[in-house]
Amino acid sequence: MDILTHPEAVTSELATTWLREQGSLSQGEVVSVTVDALRSTDLSVTASLRLSYSPDTNGDVPDSLFFKAAGTITVWVSLGKSIVALSMVCSILQQDCGSVTTV
């Protein structure tokens, strides 16, 4: 499974799969995911995801899900006469996924 970095990446198919795997959805499917209350900082991206279901859905299914992903951290470092912008996207797996850009 890929690591999601933004709530817009959560599709109805993906939400349906998650809810089925957790035992929350046995019949029907998620037909739409709407991003509400999006907040983005250098440290994280969070959002409430509002879910809509097909008419054949029954049971106690959640109206929403909470999304949280690591954000982008930017550090400026002075190296002699040049300034380097070090941009790093931190994943929940703490993989090194940084890049260096000289400006």
Q: How many other CB atoms are there within 10 angstroms of residue 63's CB atom?
A: 10
Length of the chain measured in residues: 103
pLDDT at residue 12 tops 90: yes
Task: State the average pLDDT over residues 23-43.
Answer: 90
Q: What is the pLDDT of residue 63?
A: 92
Percent of the chain exceeding pLDDT 90 equals 38
**CB-based contacts of 9: which residues, under 8 Å, 6+ apart?**
none
**pTM recorded for the entire structure:** 0.66
From the number of C-beta atoms within 10 Å of its C-beta (0-12, 13-18, 19+), residue 90 rates as middle
pLDDT at residue 21 tops 60: yes
Distance between CA atoms of residues 13 and 32, nearest Å: 9
State the chain's mean pLDDT as an integer.
Answer: 74
Give domain limits for the chain. Answer: 1-70, 71-103
pLDDT at residue 82 tops 90: no
